[in-house]
């Protein structure tokens, strides 16, 4: 599954070093985020180069999309490494460095999902062992040894599967093993990096998802139809953008904002929000975008709950999760 690839036949795409002014023609089924991923160009740069696109979710077959010069930077010489920047995709990094996605996957066995690379991660380029130098005027490969991976034994390093089971007693060992790595990756991406922040984050997600059990709202979503405050302005938006994920992102507007921030085409593929790796990242994006770390640092669990829930629904259950998480992660 490729979360951000466009559907349908594609126009011939220029290489990343094409001069500014080159363009691609939109084909049936294309999305702007899908084109950005194929071109290796961050979505915000593609939007900036195409001011005529008033709504990034609406492009039409036959439209000409201007391609800005440059994007992911290539390493000089064989080998080296590249640090993932906002808007990067694995295919874009591969194109910029004259290699293929499969070669990058072979060189980086830690990447289990080619659609999920996190800002700040180091990508080893085929043909060497690191230490390449960057080219161009943007962020490029970094010098020096690979950073030591953070520990995953609780606290600032994350939560282990065994610890997660203690926090959420109803969670099976297999489910805890599947959930914990995604939580750790998402928390690292959103600077949820202290025991208190992590305890509050995990507690809120555990309550909202029924102990990491529910990934999609049980109701049909029809009640959200026509809700302009959620951005549901098109027929079928209510059911299409029903609550999904650990904190149930809801409505076209929130799907659009989350997808744009994380490089996921959630508008055209809303079901992606219910996949565990995406659910964790969306929850972390929401947390960071609302500045919830500030309330967590102040120890204001009630305010954290309001920022997540809009009120204090289920506060006692959330606090029970938090008490267990605090005792385990401190």
Cα–Cα distance measured from residue 160 to residue 171, given in angstroms and rounded to the nearest whole number:
13
* Residues 235 and 262 placed together within one structural domain of the fold: yes
Domain boundary (249, 274, 299) is at 274
30 — pLDDT class (breaks 50, 70, 90): confident
Burial class (CB in 10 A: 0-12, 13-18, 19+), 127: middle
Task: Assess whether pLDDT exceeds 90 at residue 131.
Answer: no
Residues in Cβ contact with 25 at an 8 Å cutoff, skipping those fewer than 6 apart: 11, 62, 63, 64, 65
- Quick check: 78 and 127 in contact, CB under 8 A? yes
Q: How many domains would you assign to the chain? A: 2
Q: Using one digit for the tens of pLDDT, what is the confidence trace for 172-204?
A: 999 999 999 999 999 999 999 999 999 999 999
Question: What is the domain-level CATH number for residue 247?
Answer: 3.30.20.10
Residue 160 falls inside a structural domain: yes
Cα–Cα distance measured from residue 98 to residue 43, given in angstroms and rounded to the nearest whole number:
21
* Residues 178 and 191 placed together within one structural domain of the fold: yes
CB atoms within 10 A of CB 238: 21
Query: Which range marks the domain in which residue 210 is found?
Result: 155-215+278-329
* Residues 160 and 206 placed together within one structural domain of the fold: yes
Cα–Cα distance measured from residue 126 to residue 112, given in angstroms and rounded to the nearest whole number:
17
* Residues 159 and 203 placed together within one structural domain of the fold: yes
* Residues 200 and 162 placed together within one structural domain of the fold: yes
Q: Using one digit for the tens of pLDDT, what is the confidence trace for 44-95?
A: 777 777 777 777 777 777 788 888 754 444 443 445 777 777 667 787 788 7
Lowest average pLDDT, out of 31-40, 109-118, 139-148, goes to 139-148
Question: What is the domain-level CATH number for residue 283?
Answer: 1.10.530.10
Tell me the longest C-alpha to C-alpha distance in the chain.
58
Per residue, the 3-state secondary structure of 92-145, as one string, reads HHHHHCCCCHHHHHHHCCCCCCCCCCCCCCEEECCCCCCCCCECCCCCCCCCCC
* Residues 229 and 210 placed together within one structural domain of the fold: no
* Residues 159 and 268 placed together within one structural domain of the fold: no
Average pLDDT in the 164-170 region? 95
Tell me the range of 31-40, 135-144, 149-158, 183-192 where mean pLDDT is highest: 183-192
Cα–Cα distance measured from residue 159 to residue 181, given in angstroms and rounded to the nearest whole number:
8
* Residues 163 and 211 placed together within one structural domain of the fold: yes
Residue 320 falls inside a structural domain: yes
Lowest average pLDDT, out of 31-40, 193-202, 245-254, 262-271, goes to 31-40
Residue 210 falls inside a structural domain: yes
- Output the pLDDT for position 147: 35
Residues in Cβ contact with 241 at an 8 Å cutoff, skipping those fewer than 6 apart: 221, 224, 230, 231, 232, 250, 251, 252, 254, 255, 270
- Output the pLDDT for position 149: 38
Cα–Cα distance measured from residue 30 to residue 22, given in angstroms and rounded to the nearest whole number:
18
Q: Using one digit for the tens of pLDDT, what is the confidence trace for 5-28?
A: 222 233 333 333 333 346 788 877
- Output the pLDDT for position 119: 64
* Residues 160 and 262 placed together within one structural domain of the fold: no
Q: Number of helices (H) and strands (E) in the chain: give both, helices first.
A: 13, 4
* Residues 230 and 263 placed together within one structural domain of the fold: yes
* Residues 226 and 252 placed together within one structural domain of the fold: yes
Residue 205 falls inside a structural domain: yes
Residue 25 falls inside a structural domain: no
Question: Hunting for tokens 């700040």 — which residue is that?
Answer: 120
264 — pLDDT class (breaks 50, 70, 90): very high
Residue 260 falls inside a structural domain: yes
- Output the pLDDT for position 219: 93
Tell me the range of 36-40, 94-98, 237-241 where mean pLDDT is highest: 237-241
Domain boundary (274, 295, 318) is at 274
To the nearest whole number, what is the mean pLDDT of the chain? 78
182 vs 143, more confident: 182
Task: Assess whether pLDDT exceeds 50 at residue 146.
Answer: no
Residue 264 falls inside a structural domain: yes
Cα–Cα distance measured from residue 117 to residue 112, given in angstroms and rounded to the nearest whole number:
9
Which token pair is 259?
Answer: 């997808």
Task: Assess whether pLDDT exceeds 90 at residue 283.
Answer: yes
Residue 240 falls inside a structural domain: yes
DSSP 213-274: T--B-SS-SGGGTT-GGGT--STTHHHHT--BTTTTB-SHHHHHHHHHHHT--TTT-GGGGG
Domain boundary (231, 248, 274) is at 274
155 vs 112, more confident: 112
Which token pair is 165?
Answer: 């089971």
87 vs 123, more confident: 123
């Amino acid at each position: 599954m490729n979360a951000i690839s466009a559907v349908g036949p594609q126009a011939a795409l220029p290489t990343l070093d094409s001069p500014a002014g080159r363009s691609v023609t939109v084909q049936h089924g294309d999305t702007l985020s899908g084109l950005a991923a194929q071109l290796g160009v961050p979505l915000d740069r593609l939007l900036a180069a195409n001011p005529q696109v008033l709504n990034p979710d609406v492009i039409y077959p036959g439209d000409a999309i201007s391609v800005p010069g440059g994007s992911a930077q290539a390493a000089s010489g064989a080998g080296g490494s590249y640090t993932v920047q906002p808007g990067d995709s694995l295919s874009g990094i591969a194109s910029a460095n004259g290699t293929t996605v499969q070669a990058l996957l072979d060189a980086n066995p830690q990447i289990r999902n080619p659609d999920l690379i996190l800002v700040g991660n180091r990508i080893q380029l085929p043909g060497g062992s690191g230490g390449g130098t960057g080219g161009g005027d943007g962020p490029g490969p970094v010098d020096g040894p690979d950073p030591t991976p953070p520990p995953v034994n609780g606290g600032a390093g994350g939560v282990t599967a065994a610890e997660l089971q203690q926090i959420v007693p109803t969670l099976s060992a297999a489910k805890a093993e599947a959930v914990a790595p995604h939580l750790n990756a998402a928390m690292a991406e959103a600077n949820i990096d202290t025991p208190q922040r992590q305890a509050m984050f995990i507690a809120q997600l555990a309550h909202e998802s029924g102990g990491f059990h529910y990934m999609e709202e049980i109701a049909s979503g029809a009640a959200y139809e026509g809700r302009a405050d959620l951005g549901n302005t098109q027929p079928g938006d209510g059911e299409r953008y029903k609550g999904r994920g650990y904190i149930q992102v809801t409505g076209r507007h929130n799907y659009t904002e989350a997808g744009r921030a994380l490089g996921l085409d959630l508008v055209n593929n809303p079901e992606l929000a219910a996949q565990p790796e995406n659910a964790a990242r969306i929850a972390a994006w929401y947390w960071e975008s609302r500045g919830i770390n500030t309330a967590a640092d102040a120890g204001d669990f009630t305010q954290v709950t309001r920022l997540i829930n809009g009120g204090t629904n289920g506060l006692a259950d959330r606090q029970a999760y938090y008490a267990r998480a605090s005792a385990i992660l401190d």
